[in-house]
């Protein structure tokens, strides 16, 4: 039992670090644009599909690099073509537009490459590795490492670069930032590009681990659970939420899945969402929204 829990913890943290990366993009997008991006899972799928499609012609690192560039361009395009005309529209319109966007991205990707599971060519050493007596897939270690590295890079970006500071300013208070000369349009565009890139990296990492198929799109919902748990507009919350969802899913979900009722692992995220919304709708670290008449 202790071994099960410890193994679940380690594996859960590895998956959770990927969720955290995806959730980070989600939370950042919400924080700076107030858009709940229900197409986030499809952006993950976009990354995984495009990377695996490109590895047929190109060496793996180049393929990943091009995927990230493409994801960034997709983010810019989405902001310019779809989101800018809808600025200031009611919540419902924006939610539906992101859903429609997800439809299009998934449709094109699945249309081009089919829905079956495909594996990346082995670019990283496979097999398992033992950490302190616990067996974990080697891919998991690399994924967690990459995710952590990227989280660090993103943190440095937001801490020190001018664009990053402008984005934080806009997220903090759009009107004030705008008055101080921050271009909201550019911030929104960067936020979309950034979210798309983070999602694409998540897609590649998950693809390396589990293979790429159309189910990659549902990862967005796990990121959603992570963000709800951490608080929709909290970046550290998204990271912690991602890790927590990963661990909960592999330990509690895995246990119930194996012993009580089949398939529970996939539903854990939604149980978490409902419980959090009932008890603490603004999440662990989110800003509590006080409504006035």
Partner 1 sequence: MSARPAGDFKIGYRQDMAILHTAFFRWGFLLLVAALLAAPLWLGNRIFLLTTIGIFAIGATGLALLTGFTGQISLGHAAFMAIGAYSSAVLTGALRVPFVAAIPLAGLVAFALGAFVALPSLRIKGLYLAIATLAFQFLTDYTIIHAVGEGLGAISVRAPRIGPWILRGETAMYYIVLTVWLAGGVFAANLVRTRIGLALMAVRDRDYAAQVLGINLLAYKALAFGLAAFYAGIAGGLWASYNRLITPEHFTITQSIDYVAMIVMGGLTSVWGPHLGAAFVTALSQGLKIVTPTLVTIAPSFGKIATPLREIVFGGILIALLIWEPGGLAMLLRKLKRYLDLWPFGY
Q: Which residues would be at the binding site for partner 1 (CB under 8 A)?
A: 36, 82, 85-86, 89, 91-93, 95-97, 99-104, 106-108, 110-112, 114, 221, 224, 228, 232, 261-263, 266-267, 270-271, 273-274, 277-278, 281, 291, 293
CB-wise, 91 or 153, nearer to partner 1?
91
Nearest approach, Cβ of residue 280 and partner 1 (Å):
10
At 268, list the tokens. 């854990």
Nearer to partner 1, 140 or 231 (CB): 231
Q: How far is the CB of 203 from partner 1 (least distance, A)?
A: 18
259: Cβ–Cβ under 8 A, 6 or more apart, which residues?
A: none
Closer by beta carbon to partner 1, 140 or else 217: 217
- Which tokens belong to 118? 């495909």
> Rounded to the nearest whole angstrom, what is the least distance from the CB of residue 216 to partner 1 in the complex?
14
In angstroms, the CA 16 to CA 11 distance is 8
Report in angstroms how near the CB of residue 174 gets to partner 1 at its nearest. 17
| φ, ψ dihedrals at 129, nearest 5° | -135, 145
- For residue 129, the minimal CB distance to partner 1 (Å) is 34
Closer Cβ to partner 1, 4 or 87, answer by number: 87
**Residue among 104 and 180 whose Cβ is closer to partner 1:** 104
Closest CB 43 distance from partner 1, rounded Å: 14
The first and second tokens of residue 282, run together, are: 């603004």
Residue number, 90 or 181, with CB nearest to partner 1: 90
Helix/strand/coil for 33: helix
Q: What is the 3-state secondary structure (H, E, C) of 195-260?
A: HHHHHHHHHHHHHHHHCECHHHHHHHHHHHHHHHHHCCCCHHHHHHHHHHHHHHHHHHHHHHHHHC
Report CA 174 to chain centroid distance, whole Å. 24
């Amino acid at each position: 039992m202790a071994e099960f829990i410890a193994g679940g913890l380690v594996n859960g943290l590895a998956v959770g670090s990927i969720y955290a990366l995806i959730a980070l993009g989600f939370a950042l997008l919400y924080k700076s644009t107030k858009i709940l991006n229900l197409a986030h899972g499809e952006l993950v799928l976009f990354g995984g599909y495009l990377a695996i499609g490109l590895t047929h012609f190109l060496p793996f690192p180049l393929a990943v690099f091009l995927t990230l560039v493409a994801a960034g361009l997709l983010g810019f395009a989405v902001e310019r073509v779809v989101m800018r005309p809808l600025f200031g529209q009611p919540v419902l319109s924006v939610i539906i537009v992101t859903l429609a966007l997800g439809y299009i991205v998934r449709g094109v990707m699945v249309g081009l490459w089919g829905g079956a599971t495909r594996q990346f060519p082995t670019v990283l050493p496979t097999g398992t590795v033992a950490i302190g007596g616990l067996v974990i897939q080697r891919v998991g270690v690399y994924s967690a490492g990459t995710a952590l590295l990227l989280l660090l890079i993103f943190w440095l970006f937001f801490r020190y670069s001018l664009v990053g500071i402008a984005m934080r300013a806009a997220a903090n208070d759009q009107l004030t930032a705008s008055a101080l000369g921050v271009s909201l349009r550019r911030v929104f565009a960067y936020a979309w590009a950034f979210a798309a890139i983070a999602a694409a990296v998540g897609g590649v990492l998950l693809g390396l681990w589990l293979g790429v198929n159309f189910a990659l799109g549902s990862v967005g919902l796990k990121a959603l659970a992570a963000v709800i748990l951490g608080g929709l507009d909290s970046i550290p919350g998204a990271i912690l939420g991602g890790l927590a969802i990963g661990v909960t899913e592999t330990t509690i979900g895995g246990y119930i899945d194996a012993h009580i009722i089949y398939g529970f692992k996939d539903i854990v995220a939604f149980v978490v969402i409902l419980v959090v919304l009932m008890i603490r709708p603004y999440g662990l670290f989110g800003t509590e929204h006080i409504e006035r008449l």
